[in-house]
Amino acid sequence: MSEQSRPLPLSRRTALAALGGAAAVPLLSACGVGTGGGGDAAATANGAAEVTGSFDWKALSGESIKILQTPHPYQQAFQPLLKEFTELTGIEVQADLVAEADYFTKLNTELAGRTGAHDVFMTGAYFIWQYGPPGWMEDLAPWIQNSAATSDEYDFEDIYEGLRTSTRWDFEKGSALGTGGQWAIPWGFETNVVAYNKRVFDQRGIALPETFDDFIQVATDLTDRANNTYGVAFRGSKSWATIHPGFMTQFTREGGQDYTAEGTTYTAAMNSDAAVEFTRKWVDLAKNAGPTSWTTYDYPQCTGDLGNGNAMMVYDADSATYPKNKAGASKEAGNLAWYPGPAGPDGSYATNLWTWSLAMNAASKKKQAAWLFIQWATGKDAMNKATASTFADPTRASVFDGSFKQTLGGFPGYLETFEKVIDSTKIQFTPQTKFFETTEDWAVALQDIYSGADAKSRLDELAQANTTKINA
Amino acid sequence: MAKELKPGQRRVTAGSVVADLMIVAWFVFSLFPLLWMLLLALKNDADQTSTYFAFSPTFDNFVTVLSQRGQDLTSVDFGQAMWTSVLNCVGAVLVSLVVGVPAAYAAGRWKYRGSENLMFQMLSFRFAPELMVIVPLFVIYNTLGIFDTKVGMVWVLQLVTMPLVVWILRSYFQDLSPELEQAALLDGYTRIRAFLTVALPLVRPGIAASALLAFIFAWNNYVFPLILTDSAATTVTVAVTKFLGGGGQAYYNLTAAAALLGALPPLVLALTIQRYLVRGLSFGAVKA
């Protein structure tokens, strides 16, 4: 039996009210921050105009900034160079790394909190469509245009056009990429092409397939389930990232389009005749010549199978496959080669890209120092040094033509592939703020078709739902 | 007539054999991920996804995790992250014990209007997904200047450890006969002295068990250190994931080695106080 003290004058209703109030505090706080729109005007005001006088790398000597990154060959290439930035500017850099799987969770939280904890962060172009509208990102165009803030040698136009436009948008419905603010500067990127096992292709005298139908045939012929080898690996998991590499590239080459825009109204077009025909073929390819657990596949599984000799081809990012060709990195190291993948019926090599870019936190309290860092990291000198030490597609034409080509000797077809597709490489998606939600729904539709759903009716259903969502 | 069994022996029947086999199967199933991790941690880069059991084992991954190369890959000193985790978790458990043991005693001994609501509220810290409160916490931590600090981590880990300590220990105190403390009070002890010298020693197994569980829960927490720390106060759980790599360059072998190293402190702690743990967890299990 427990002892009883004098009851406190606390009724259940009062207690619940108190608990409710306490519980509401974090919820209200959560609603109050990061919902976009107005926010703190001082924090979101562009800082470029405050920089006057002549450009000086040492203008902020003694300052320190923090950058948020995710582990990646680009990041690793630049890591040893950070001390050179400090020598050049006198600015100390603290680089914080977060694993890729949780990177955007942390970044989203930070940006929503508007504390400016990190001044510079790595981002993909699609994320600009989500982080830009709430005012979380600094427009870098005024910084580029300000000669007091930007060195004469910066040469922004040297960055590939497809990349510059991919990171530029005005966030207006119906507007194409390439309009509005420059929300990030492309730092490293990848084209989505085909890596293949050259040893096996050469042994069997197989020619590289030029059309998608030939590609399907070759992949099917190379599939030998009894010996645990199959024709081609590409992503199939329930994620937006399943759509953007190989699928979107070939989808576009085959004449597919995600949305059509009329004024400010979008209509989903992933159920057009061309799209349905292509989707049906793509899913059949996954069934007949893809990995047996395709619906769980992300790029590590795809590239792992290529390196192990299980997959004969991978349709994914070029720079996701090259590490497997480094000596000692995989069983098939030294046996891999690249080609653009099949052309479309009209000879199109339209290719979707991914770019890791550097962006400035709009809430940063050290914007000029942050811009000096972005300017240095995306400049010719640092990028030349980084690509000389580590293999990563540089975003500048001068760097690609300069130091980068010298590193390509052991990577057959890589250079030719790059040169073939670069002029048609850009983001092939329609920019829109519901990108992740609607594109994940697209991946789910592929999985449903893989599981037996009728392609036409499932894509009709998807198109109807996505049209409603993005016009809301 | 059946043969008489010696002490400790049991009769072998078809049922007991099946039961034993099922237990073995369960152990194989539950321990296989650990075995897989150990194998992965012993593989080189080329073998990490290409082999199952046939490979030349190497301890290089453990060395790399703790070396400068590991630091270059992750921007975090893994040894330092382990030490930070130890400090964070020990700090969090100590604070939870200092505050939580008296709270559990009070909750176990006194009932008043709203006392159950209070306990429920404390338990409710564990109801909400951590991500739901992380944005306001992030803002508050930055405002207070405790972002990426050990003090900040010890504080936030109270959300994890305190409910555990209070709820486990409350049942211990409820199981203790209050006559023991009443006898001490009759002998002239103050309430605090009766608590410290009579009740507290009797729940030591419970304190050990709850402290260990709280330590393990705090050690394994991922979301709070992910969002509320950077390099200065990074914990082992966050540091482990940084070895995963990215952009086609995955270091599963290094990740497995780091995870195994990261599992050592709670494992050693659990084995060290195993006696208390078993006793502590079974105490109160037959409460009416």
DSSP A229-247: BEEEE---SSSGGGIIIII
Interface predicted TM-score of the whole assembly (ipTM), two decimals: 0.79
Structure-token pair, residue A155: 């040469």
* A291 and A346 housed in the same domain: yes
Does A17 reside within a domain? no
Is there a single domain that holds both residue B33 and residue B134?
no
- Contact call for A322 and B248, based on CB within 8 A: yes
Q: Spell out where B210-273 has E strands.
A: 245-246, 249-250
> What was the pLDDT predicted at A16?
41
Minimum distance, in Å, between the CA of residue A81 and any CA atom of chain B: 12
pLDDT per residue of chain A (472 residues) written in tens, 0 to 9: 333 333 333 344 433 443 343 333 333 333 333 333 334 444 468 999 999 999 999 999 999 999 999 988 888 888 889 999 999 999 999 999 898 888 999 999 999 989 899 999 999 999 999 999 999 999 999 999 999 999 999 999 999 999 999 999 999 998 999 999 999 999 989 999 999 999 999 999 999 999 999 999 999 999 999 999 999 999 999 999 999 999 999 999 999 999 999 989 999 999 999 999 999 999 999 999 999 999 999 988 999 999 999 999 999 998 888 888 988 888 999 999 999 999 999 999 999 999 999 999 999 999 999 999 999 999 999 999 988 776 678 899 999 888 788 777 778 999 899 999 999 999 999 999 999 999 999 999 999 999 999 999 999 999 999 999 999 8
Mark whether A169 and A213 lie in a shared domain. no
B80 found inside a domain: yes
Chain A residue numbers with beta carbons less than 8 Å from the beta carbon of B128 are: 23
Task: Look at residue B122 and give its three-state secondary structure.
Answer: helix
3-state helix, strand, coil in chain A (%, to 5): 50, 15, 35
Q: How many residues does chain A have?
A: 472
pLDDT tens digit sequence for A352-382: 999 999 999 999 999 999 999 999 999 999 9
Going by C-beta distance under 8 Å and a sequence separation of 6 or more, which residues neighbour residue B263?
Answer: none
Domain contains B288: no
Residue from the list B113, B241, B242 with its beta carbon closest to the beta carbon of A7: B113
Phi first, then psi: what are they for A232, rounded to 5°? -150, 135
Does residue B6 belong to any structural domain of this protein? no
What is the number of CB-based contacts under 8 A between chain A and chain B? 173
Residues B33 and B109 both lie in one domain: no
- Report the distance separating Cα A167 and Cα B15, nearest Å: 68
Judging contacts by C-beta atoms under 8 Å, the chain B residues touching residue A136 are none
Q: Are A376 and A89 in contact (CB under 8 A)?
A: yes
Judge if B105 and B23 occupy the same domain: no
Number of folded domains that form chain A: 2
Please count the structural domains in chain B. Answer: 2
User: Does B159 lie in the same domain as B113?
Assistant: yes
Residues B49 and B87 in one domain: no
Gap between the Cα atoms of B251 and B257, Å rounded? 10
A185, A231: one domain: no
Domain with residue B128: its CATH number is 1.10.3720.10
**Chain segment A2-55, per-residue pLDDT in tens:** 333 333 333 444 334 433 433 333 333 333 333 333 344 444 689 999 999 999
Mode of pairing for the β-strands spanning A168-169 and A181-182? antiparallel
Residues B42 and B172 in one domain: no
For residue A391, the model assigns a pLDDT of 62
Q: Looking at chain B, how many residues does it have?
A: 288
Q: What is the C-alpha separation between A285 and A351, in angstroms, rounded? A: 19
- Identify the pLDDT of residue B51: 73
Contact A136, A184 (CB under 8 A): no
> Residue A308: which of B49, B73, B128 has the nearest Cβ?
B49
Chain A residue closest to B117 (CA)? A15
Q: Are A397 and A443 found together in one domain?
A: no
**Which of A8, A73, A117 has the CB atom closest to B249's CB atom?**
A73
Please report whether residue B155 resides in a domain.
Answer: yes
Q: Could you tell me if residue B3 is inside a domain?
A: no
* Domain span holding position A240: 192-352+428-471
Tokens in use for B201? 């020693």
Q: Determine, for residues B73 and A11 on separate chains, whether the beta-carbon distance falls below 8 Å.
A: no
> Quick check: A299 and B73 CB within 8 A?
no
**Cβ–Cβ gap B247/A331 under 8 Å:** no
Q: What are phi and psi of A93, to 5 degrees?
A: -120, 125
Q: Which of B22, B44, B65 is the last residue of a domain?
A: B65
Specify whether the backbone of B158 is left (phi greater than 0), alpha (psi in -120 to 50) or beta: alpha
Contact at 8 Å (CB) between A229 and A440? Answer: no
The chain B residue lying nearest A12, using CA atoms, is B114
Look at A319 and B248 and tell me if their CB atoms are within 8 Å.
yes
Q: Are residues A163 and A88 in the same domain?
A: yes
Residue A278 belongs to some domain of the structure? yes
Q: What domain range is B236 assigned to?
A: 76-282
Reference A398, options A135, A134, A159; nearest CA is: A159
Co-location of A211 and A265 in the same domain? yes
Alpha carbon distance B96, B84 (integer Å): 18
Q: Do A223 and A363 sit in the same domain of this protein?
A: no
User: Out of B45, B113, B132, whose CB is closest to A8?
Assistant: B113
Task: Tell whether B60 and B85 lie within a shared domain.
Answer: no
Q: Which CATH number is A312's domain given?
A: 3.40.190.10
Nearest CA in chain B to A80: B72
Q: Between vectors from CA B250 to CA A224 and to CA B37, what angle results, nearest 5°? A: 85
How many angstroms away from the CA of A221 is the closest CA of chain B?
Answer: 23
Q: Write the DSSP symbol of residue A254.
A: T
Task: Based on the fold, state whether residues B48 and B107 are members of the same structural domain.
Answer: no
A126-A129-A131 Cα angle (round to 5): 105
Q: Is the dihedral angle over the CA atoms B43, B49, B55, B56 positive or is it negative?
A: negative
Residues of A in contact with B117 (CB under 8 A): 10, 12, 15-16, 19
Residues A232, A331: one domain? yes
Give contacts of A27 with chain B, Cβ < 8 Å.
132
**Is A37 among the domain residues?**
no
Note the pLDDT of residue B64: 93
Same domain (yes/no): A107, A255: no
**Using a CB-CB distance cutoff of 8 angstroms, which residues of chain B are in contact with residue A320?**
247-248
User: Which residue of A lies nearest to B128 if distances are taken between CA atoms?
Assistant: A23
Residue B7 falls within a domain, yes or no?
no
What 3-state class would DSSP assign to A410? Answer: coil
Residues B24 and B116 in one domain: no
Name chain A contacts of B143, Cβ cutoff 8 Å. Answer: 115
Cα distance between residue A28 and residue A300, in whole Å: 39
Q: Do B29 and B123 sit in the same domain of this protein?
A: no
Tell me: do B119 and B51 sit in the same domain.
no
Is the same domain home to A325 and A246?
yes
Interface test with A, best of B45, B49, B78, B191 (most A CBs within 10 A): B49
Tokens 């061309």 -> residue = A274
Are B40 and B92 contained in the same domain? no
Same domain, residue pair A457 and A340: yes
Q: Which two tokens stand for residue A288?
A: 């007949």
Contact (CB, 8 A) for A316 and A408: no
Chunked into runs of 10 residues, chain B (288 residues) has average pLDDT values of 71 89 93 92 84 85 92 86 96 96 91 84 80 89 94 94 92 89 91 91 90 93 94 92 77 93 91 75 53
At A410, the amino acid letter reads G
- Say what the pLDDT of residue B284 is: 53
CB contact under 8 A, B44 and A328: yes
Q: Which residues of A touch B74 (CB under 8 A)?
A: 71, 97
Do residues A378 and A159 touch, judged by C-beta distance below 8 A? Answer: yes
Do A298 and A200 lie in a common domain? Answer: yes
Residue B8 lies in a domain: no
Q: Which residues of A touch B73 (CB under 8 A)?
A: 71, 76
